[in-house]
Structures are given as C-alpha cells and as structure tokens.
Amino acid sequence: MITFVAVGILLWLLGLSLSSPEGFQQAAAVMDSFVVKFIVWGILTALAYHIAGGIRHMLMDFGFLGETLAIGTRSAQVAFGITVVLSILAGVLVW
C-alpha cells in the first residue's frame, strides 16, 4: 500500500514538473521543504533496498550464489551495505 502512495507522489512531482515552466517552478517550490525532501529521500532509500534485495534474490534464483545459510547471510549483508551507500547518494542528490 505504501509503495503505491510513494509511486503516486513521485509521479505527481514528475507530471507537475513536466507540465509547463510554471509547473516546474511549483515542483521546485514543493521540494524546498525539509519534510518533502525527507519523504523523497525515504522513498528513494526504500526503492534502493527493494532493488538491492531483488538483485540478490535473482542471483540466488539463477544459481550464481550458493544456497547455504552462511552465503545467504553474507549476501544479505552485502545487499544492506549497498543500500546504505545508495541511501547516502540519494541524500546527496535530494539535498
């Protein structure tokens, strides 16, 4: 449910910014708020986590990663580390 709300927010901002030069100015004004920047950063962080976990699972499904508990734990740690790095990069992008 939250995913649909997050995608709705991002699509609304995209549509507003692409509608006209005035719409772009409105979208830029909306993004000036700390609360909105924090929400967008949270959405981008959740998206990064979802992508990193999805790639991890695809690699496991295709047999590139083993199916032991140790490898599963290590791949989860790597996916989480990648998420942290992408979260920091998203923060730099938003702010």
pLDDT band of residue 2 (cuts 50, 70, 90) is: confident
What does CATH list as the number for 33-95? Answer: 1.20.1300.10
Q: Which of 95, 13, 6 is nearest to 50 (CA)?
A: 6
Q: What is the arithmetic mean of pLDDT over 18-24?
A: 96
Report d(CA 32, CA 91) in Å as an integer.
14
What pLDDT score does 87 carry? 97
57 is in an annotated binding site: no
Summary mean pLDDT of the chain: 94
Q: What is the pTM of this model?
A: 0.85
Residues 27-65 have pLDDT tens digits of: 999 999 999 999 999 999 999 999 999 999 999 999 998
Domain ranges of the chain: 1-32, 33-95
